[in-house]
């Protein structure tokens, strides 16, 4: 028999055996499927929205509550200076632009010893105002660096370990800033607060997506954000009752933030994360959850093995750009979250320039925000992610551009009262309401867009983009105030950009979460087929 005939015979036998192998494989898979459970089936069996998930959810809610206090405290700890121009100019022109041009500018400054602005010498006004802007943005810059560090840590070393270290570092930052007597340790403490606490609450979304299913997963993802809004309302009350910055940081925030470090003992490592890394450890954690939920435990052979992802056990930020399936959604999602944070924190930093006084403004905005968070629980279950995001961003743009025409009359400046001030704060409230719904929806949406293997990395990177936006908010506000324009106007421009970036993103409502990057999934599948084909050829040649 010549070589050509031999190859033809091998080819025919291979086709025949491939057919038999495929049929056998189907039968084996059918048999195994009756014995082994998919991860979602296993999670449903041990409880996907029961006692364990509720305990962890409540713990996460408390972290969100105090994280909002720490990241939004800047309006009270660094409360802006107020001015009294002694009737030398119209009241609506009595601002830092005029005061700081006077030789004896301190004669026109109302000194507030409760705020850090006047704790330092010289105070953080006029030629020192750049330090004020830097301090306001430091916690957000800390968030930016923290997202990069802990998102990688969470995807490669474990969600629980990343959560533990991030919150602990944030706690150190709280006490460092609270005990500081000079600007440098305070600045470091402010940086560490953002570096630790904000990445911690972003890691929560990986937990919530991976240890729960169905409505509980969606509602818990929104529920934690409701506690952000409640925390913001508490912050206003606490700052009013405890106005001195040091007592506010150390006693109102520091002690409970420190105690929350012990809550990590209630949290198990994400079983879905372990399912991709260590099958036996995943079953061990699932059985711990089963015991807490008082459900039947799993046997160590009952869980299906995940696809072989051994070719890429370590993931990095480059993977978000390297693969086409992730590249454009990462770019558009990052820009969109940048916009969300610009709008959210832009409203926060504009409180002293619009509406009523800082306390009334803050409580009104907090009420609008809370309503938005509560309503999100309903919206996220009923409506598509993309449609809600588009409507919310368009509403932000429309409300923002209204400030071009809505100006405060001269006789209403300062402590005066007029309907224009009321309208300003109501429009700001509507903007905050809209952007909170968009933000809630986007946290769920972006978590669903990415596979398990890079979910924390993706959320971390997108959050970095958002933090660039929140870090720039105080500088944008200062620039527009110096130009004599409302700091609310640039938020409308941001809303338009966000609307355009929403359009290319895919809808995820009702779709199953994916475990692996599609290109790697396909590559692994092809490699398995190639190995099976090679083994078959070797067996035929040996015969």
Find the mean pLDDT for residues 452-457.
79
Give me Rg for the CA atoms of the chain.
28
Nearest to 136 by CA among 206, 197, 78, 201: 78
Which residues contact residue 415 at a Cβ distance below 8 angstroms, ignoring those fewer than 6 apart?
357
Phi, then psi, of 356 in degrees rounded to 5? -100, -150
**Are residues 453 and 309 in contact, defined by beta-carbon separation less than 8 angstroms?**
yes
pLDDT tens-place string over residues 344-403: 989 988 887 887 888 888 889 989 988 998 888 788 888 889 999 999 999 999 999 999
Q: What is the CA 155 to chain-centroid distance, rounded?
A: 16
Question: Using one digit for the tens of pLDDT, what is the confidence trace for 11-56?
Answer: 555 555 445 444 444 444 444 444 688 888 899 999 998 999 999 9
Q: Is the pLDDT of residue 66 over 70?
A: yes
Place 82 in a pLDDT band, splitting at 50, 70 and 90.
confident
User: What confidence score (pLDDT) does residue 521 get?
Assistant: 77
Cα separation, 478 vs 484, in Å, equals: 10
d(CA 535, CA 543): 13
Q: How far apart are CA 359 and CA 344, in angstroms?
A: 18
Query: Residue 303 carries which DSSP code?
Result: B
Q: Cα separation of 530 and 270, whole Å? A: 33
pLDDT of amino acid 27: 46
How high does pLDDT run on average in the chain?
Answer: 84
Q: Is 407 left (phi over 0), alpha (psi -120 to 50) or beta?
A: beta
- Chain-centroid distance, C-alpha 157: 20
Return the pLDDT at 460. 79
| DSSP letter (8 states) at residue 37 | B
Whether residue 464 contacts residue 338, with contact meaning beta carbons closer than 8 Å, is answered with: no
Q: Tokens 């999670």 sit at which residue?
A: 43
Task: Give the pLDDT confidence score for residue 147 in this predicted structure.
Answer: 85
Contact predicate 181/261, CB 8 Å: no
- In the chain, the domains with their CATH numbers are 39-79+114-305 (1.20.1250.20), 316-538 (1.20.1250.20)
In the structure encoding, which two tokens stand for residue 444, read together? 């769920």
Task: Give 200's Cβ-side CA count (13 Å radius).
Answer: 33
Report the alpha-carbon distance of residue 310 to residue 331 in Å, rounded.
27
Predicted confidence band of residue 543 (pLDDT cuts 50, 70, 90): low
Q: How far apart are the first and last CA of the chain?
A: 15
Task: Please tell me the distance from the alpha carbon of residue 453 to that of residue 285, in angstroms, as a whole number.
Answer: 18
């Amino acid at each position: 028999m010549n070589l050509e005939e031999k190859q033809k015979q091998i080819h025919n036998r291979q086709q025949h055996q491939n057919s038999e192998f495929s049929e056998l494989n189907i039968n084996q898979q059918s048999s195994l499927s009756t014995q082994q459970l998919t991860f979602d089936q296993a999670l449903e069996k041990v409880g996907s929205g029961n006692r364990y998930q509720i305990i962890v959810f409540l713990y996460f809610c408390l972290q969100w509550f105090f994280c909002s206090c720490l990241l939004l405290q800047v309006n009270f700890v660094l409360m802006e200076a107020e001015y009294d121009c002694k009737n030398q100019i119209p009241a609506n022109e009595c601002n830092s632009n005029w005061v700081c041009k006077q030789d004896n500018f301190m004669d026109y400054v109302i000194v507030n010893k409760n705020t850090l602005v006047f704790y330092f010498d010289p105070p953080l006004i006029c030629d020192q105002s750049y330090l004020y802007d830097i301090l306001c943005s430091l916690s957000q810059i800390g968030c930016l660096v923290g997202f990069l560090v802990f998102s990688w840590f969470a995807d490669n070393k474990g969600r629980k370990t990343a959560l533990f270290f991030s919150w602990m570092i944030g706690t150190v930052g709280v006490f460092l800033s609270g005990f500081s007597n000079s600007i440098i340790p305070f600045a470091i403490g402010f940086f560490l607060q953002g570096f630790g606490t904000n990445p911690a609450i972003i890691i929560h979304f990986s937990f919530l997506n991976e240890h729960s299913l169905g409505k509980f997963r969606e509602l818990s993802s929104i529920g934690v954000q409701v506690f952000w809004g409640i925390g913001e309302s508490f912050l206003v009350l606490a700052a009013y009752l405890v106005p001195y910055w040091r007592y506010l940081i150390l006693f109102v925030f520091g002690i409970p933030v420190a105690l929350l470090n012990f809550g990590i003992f209630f949290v198990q490592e994400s079983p879905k994360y372990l399912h991709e890394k260590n099958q036996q450890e995943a079953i061990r954690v699932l059985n711990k959850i089963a015991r807490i939920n008082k459900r039947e435990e799993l046997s160590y052979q009952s869980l299906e093995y995940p696809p072989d992802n051994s070719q890429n056990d370590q993931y990095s930020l480059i993977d978000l750009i390297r693969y086409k399936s992730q590249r454009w959604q990462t770019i558009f999602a990052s820009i969109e979250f940048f916009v969300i944070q610009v709008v959210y924190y832009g409203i926060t930093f504009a409180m002293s320039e619009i509406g009523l006084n800082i306390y009334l403004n803050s409580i009104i905005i907090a009420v609008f925000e809370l309503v938005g968070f509560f309503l999100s629980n309903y919206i996220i279950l009923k409506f598509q992610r993309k449609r809600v995001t588009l409507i919310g961003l368009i509403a932000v743009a429309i409300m923002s551009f209204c400030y071009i025409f809505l100006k405060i009359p001269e006789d209403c400046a300062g402590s005066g009262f007029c309907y224009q001030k009321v309208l300003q704060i109501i429009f700001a409230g509507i903007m905050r309401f809209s952007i909170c719904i968009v933000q809630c929806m986007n946290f769920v949406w972006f978590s669903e867009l990415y596979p398990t293997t890079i979910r924390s990395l993706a959320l971390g990177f997108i959050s970095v983009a958002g933090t660039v936006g929140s870090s720039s908010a105080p500088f944008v506000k200062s620039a527009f105030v110096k130009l004599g324009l409302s700091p609310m106007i640039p938020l409308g421009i941001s809303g338009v950009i966000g609307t355009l970036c929403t359009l290319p993103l895919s809808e995820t409502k009702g779709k199953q979460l994916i475990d692996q990057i599609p290109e790697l999934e396909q590559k692994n599948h092809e490699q398995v087929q190639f190995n099976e084909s090679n083994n078959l050829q070797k067996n035929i040649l040996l015969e």
